[in-house]
Chain A
Amino acid sequence: MAAFVVTDRLKQLIGHKEGPIVFKVEEGAIQRYAQAVGDSNPLHSDVEYAAGSEWGRLMAPPGFTGWPVAKGFDMFKVVEKLIQAGAPAGLLDGGVEYDFMAPIGAGDTLVAVVNLASIEGRETKMGPTMVTTIETTYTNQRGIVVLIARNTFLNF
């Protein structure tokens, strides 16, 4: 076994972008998401309570950027491009890393841009593995970057 060799054809995709993807953050979507994950903080469910809070409106739990979250799955378009360029087809979601820069609340409009940040060749228990980091930057209607998410995918 050996580490996966990242070819020039794959390296050329570093910096590839998808988007912009527009998310509208709706009150009802926040409430349904908070209920589904079992988050009982009234800031995410009780409109009256939230209106009286320091935020003055219903706020999204960290990591919620509007429905459907799956829109952010435009990152899979990047993964498909990698497979077309010769990456192994086995795929695992390795995890995610968030930087929460500013709050997101009901009424916000977010614009997300997906960027293929890095590709690394490794050797894992699955054999030669390509580790890809895809960075998604969310900017709100006031031009403030509110969230950066880095997703890791393993192709093996």
Chain B
Amino acid sequence: MVKQICYEDVEIGSEVTPLEKIATTRMLVQYAGASGDFNPLHYEDDFARNLGVGRPIVHGLLKRAWLVNLMTDWIGSKGKLRKLSCRYRGVDYPRKMKTLDEPLDGDTWWCRGRVTRKFVEGEEYLVECEIWVENGNKEKTTTGSAVAALPLKL
């Protein structure tokens, strides 16, 4: 397990440990099944083309889940995620598959964040972060913010 991050370890401007993600067509099918969101926009070429997005795109809700994952990995088992919001600003296209479980070369996404505020509310020591998903061209295709409670060192 990674060392637990504490409220005192964090300053305004501190980086949230980045999280790497590679969206693949296989992953979108897996997410569709696991979430029950069977919108063909995410797996059928003609359907996506007719909607004007070219080809199947990554679920906004999957990118939302990546941002949750970014925060929960960073705050560790003693941290508590209190709020998270995100806005979908651009579409992302998954890599296609080369083998059963290996994708072709292509885009790699990074989930990133930065601490924008530290404050105490009631008995909780909270940090607010701006968070985003960045595509291979460093464009922020999903942006948002999160608030989490962190433990104290003592």
Contacts and interface: CB of A to CB of B under 8 A. Distances in A.
Interface of A: 29, 32-33, 35-39, 41, 43, 53, 61-63, 67-71, 73, 93-100, 152
Given A61-B69, A63-B68, 7 more contacts: A37-B65, A39-B69, A62-B84, A67-B36, A69-B35, A70-B38, A99-B82
Contacts of A41: 72-73
Contacts of A63: 64-65, 68, 84
Chain A binding site: helix, strand, loop or mixed by DSSP? Answer: mixed
Contacts of B100: none
B8 interface: no
B120 interface: no
B78 to A, nearest CB: 9
Contacts, number: 88
Nearest to A63: B68
Given A37-B66, A38-B69, A94 B35 contact: no
Given A37-B65, A37-B66, A38-B21, A95 B86 contact: yes
A68 B27 CA distance: 17
A95 B132 CA distance: 13
A97 B72 CA distance: 16
A73 B59 CA distance: 14
A69 B37 contact: yes
B33 A36 contact: yes
A85 B81 CA distance: 38
B83 A100 contact: yes
B27 A39 contact: no
A51 to B, nearest CB: 15
Contacts of B64: 63, 96
Contact of A100 (B73, B82, B86): B82
